Every structure is written in C-alpha cells, then in structure tokens.
Amino acid sequence: MFQRISKGLLFLTVMILFCGCGGSDKKEEESEYSLYYINKEGTKIVTEAYEPETSTTEEMVAEFIEALKKDPEEVGIKKALPEEVIVVSQRMEEKVLYISFDSTYAMMDRVEEILCRAALVKTFTQIPGVECISIYINDQPLRNSNDQPVGVLTADNFIEDISRDLQSRHSQELTLYFANKTGDKLVEETRKVSYDSSTPLEKAIIEELIKGPQKEGSYPTLSEDTELISASVVDNICYVNFNEAFLKTSIEGMEKIPVYSVVNTLSEVPGISKVQIVVNGKAEKEFLNKTYERNLDIIEKSEVLTEEEK
C-alpha cells in the first residue's frame, strides 16, 4: 500500500555508502564524521557534522563521548544523552565498544531511551575499529521491554526514513481501523491523507485515528482529548507515547479495541512489525507492558457474501 519514493531510496543508498560503518579506512576527502542528536519533537535522530581531533580508536571514543555531552551547534535539536546521565566506563574488546552508564540512564522514558540508544550506536560505529556497541547500566546489560538483554548493537539495527524530508508535502492512502457498532471488533476505513514532510508518517496516522471515523457504521477508538506525545520507529518497532487520555478509551475488559486500532493501523506501514504503547512515557497499565503485533482475528469480516455462500 505504501510505496517508497524512488528519490528517497536513492538518497538513502548514497547516505549509507557515505557514512558506512566503523572499521574501514576513510579517504581524506571523506574524513568528515557526524554526531547524532534528537530533533526537537523527540521523534527521530538527526546528524551534525563533526571533525575529530584524535585518530586512534580509544582516543576517538573518549572524544566522541565528551562531544555528545555538549549541546549541538544547530538550533532546534538536542543532545541524545541527557545532562544527568554519567558515563561510568568504556572499553574496547574485539571491535565491540562496551559503554557503562550510571542508574540515571534507566530513568529515561522508553521512547527517549530508544532514540538515545540509536544515536549512540550510529555515532560510535563510525569510528575505525568499532563495529558494534554494547550498553550497560552499572555493569548490568541494558534490557528491553521484555526484560531481555538488548545485546550487541550495530548500525544496521537502526534504519532512518530520510525520504520524508525530500518533498514539502506527501499524500498517502491510509487504511485505518475503528470500532464496529458493538465495540468488540475493528472495521477498516480507507482515506487519502495529505501531510507535511516534517511530520513523520506514524504521527500523521495517529492524528487521523484521533480525528475519528468518516465512514458510516464506524466508531471512534480514541477519545478526542487523546494527544500523541511522540511516535518513533526503531528496529521495526513503533514506540507510541500518548497522554493519559488514551486510558479513557481503554475501559476494563475492552482494552484490546483501542490498542489494536493503533497496532493494526500502524502495522500497515512497511518497516513496522510491532508496536509498543506507553502513557506519559510509562507502561502504566499491565496490558501496555508488552509489544503488540497485528491481530487479524479482531477485524470484523465483511458482510458481502461470495457466490458459494449465497
């Protein structure tokens, strides 16, 4: 349904070839590095050119850590690593950079941490001799939402959709999922949406869900005062952060309807295979403390009968 813009694919390919991964010799004219930061909306990572003063792997790692602690020169972007987070130690072992932070790292909300993690990986794997990194908190490995160790991370774990910035406006046909009349199933609604290139597609989709259905026989799954705080895609998982109004629609026993309204709709986007929803940066309810995949069983079947059924 969703087609990538050919110019975007070409640009992405050029960027990948330009940036590359750590461990390869760089020609003098390609010696410029980048530091990775977070945009002001807190929805994606962005870059700022950087020229290191050191040359060995260990020296460059230490220099990049200090550089990431400083505010970016460009207005409108912010540090990926919060001011209060302290780097306890770093060491290299067989092309793996091990970075240990203090406990304040774990105080970041889920979306902020994912973006910070992506920025760290993208920044350090540019350094010759660094092919991947492993993040620790007080000498304990960083864990994901399922309480499993995140493990060793490479730049390939984080794919940026930079094609969104190639045009001022995008027009996309979207399939949205709203509630049926009885409120126990989801029904499809297709609509064409125009949105600004500075708006991530995931944000545009959620905003359409909040607006509610246009099709007769479909009913809202999100209350009108629901606000989207942020939406980011990292490693094929879309992290969606709502305000507390999201819980108003998630009444006891019926949480799955608004949840799968969001999950099934976002899963229509190529590159999104799972969705995790949080409220004000936290999984405040037990049913939110997991990642969700598309659920086809909750979609109401069409009443149109085939010739055999008639």
Instruction: Name the percent of the chain lying above pLDDT 70.
Output: 79
Q: What is the pLDDT of residue 212?
A: 92
- 7 touches 163 (CB < 8 A): yes
Tell me the one-letter amino acid at 153: L
Eight-state DSSP code of residue 300: P
Q: What is the pLDDT of residue 114?
A: 85
Element (H, E) at 18: helix 6-19
Tell me the one-letter amino acid at 233: V
Q: What is the pLDDT of residue 32?
A: 77
What is each CA distance from 264 to 82, 145, 192, 218, 304, in whole angstroms? 33, 20, 17, 15, 22
For 279-302, give one letter per residue: b (16+ CB within 10 A) or e.
bebeeeeeebeebbebeeebbbee
Give the whole-angstrom CA distance, residue 178 versus residue 2. Answer: 20
Q: What is the pLDDT of residue 292?
A: 94
Beta bridge partner(s), residue 179: 186, 219
Mean pLDDT, residues 156-182:
65
Mean pLDDT, residues 127-155:
86
Q: How confident is the model at residue 29 (pLDDT cuts 50, 70, 90)?
A: very low
Residue in 92, 15, 100 with CA at minimum distance from that of residue 60: 92
Q: Give the torsion through C-alpha atoms of 220, 222, 228, 231, to 10 deg.
A: -80
Mean pLDDT, residues 240-253:
77
Q: What is the pLDDT of residue 196?
A: 66
Region of poorest pLDDT, from 4-8, 72-76, 134-138, 250-254: 4-8
Q: What is the pLDDT of residue 157?
A: 62
Q: What is the pLDDT of residue 250?
A: 54
The pLDDT tens digits for 75-96 are 889 999 998 999 999 999 989 9
Residue in 122, 116, 129 with CA at minimum distance from that of residue 156: 122
- 58 touches 65 (CB < 8 A): no
Q: Where are the domains of the chain?
A: 31-160, 167-288
Q: What is the pLDDT of residue 12?
A: 36
The pLDDT tens digits for 207-221 are 999 999 998 889 999
What is each CA distance from 266 to 12, 69, 134, 302, in whole angstroms? 22, 34, 29, 21
> Phi and psi at residue 258, in whole multiples of 5°?
-65, -35
Q: How confident is the model at residue 253 (pLDDT cuts 50, 70, 90)?
A: low
- Put simply, whether the predicted model's pTM sits higher than 0.85 gets the answer no
Sole residue written with tokens 């007080």:
138
- pLDDT of 309 strictly over 90: no
Q: What is the pLDDT of residue 52?
A: 94
Q: What is the pLDDT of residue 230?
A: 86
Give the whole-angstrom CA distance, residue 135 versus residue 140. Answer: 9
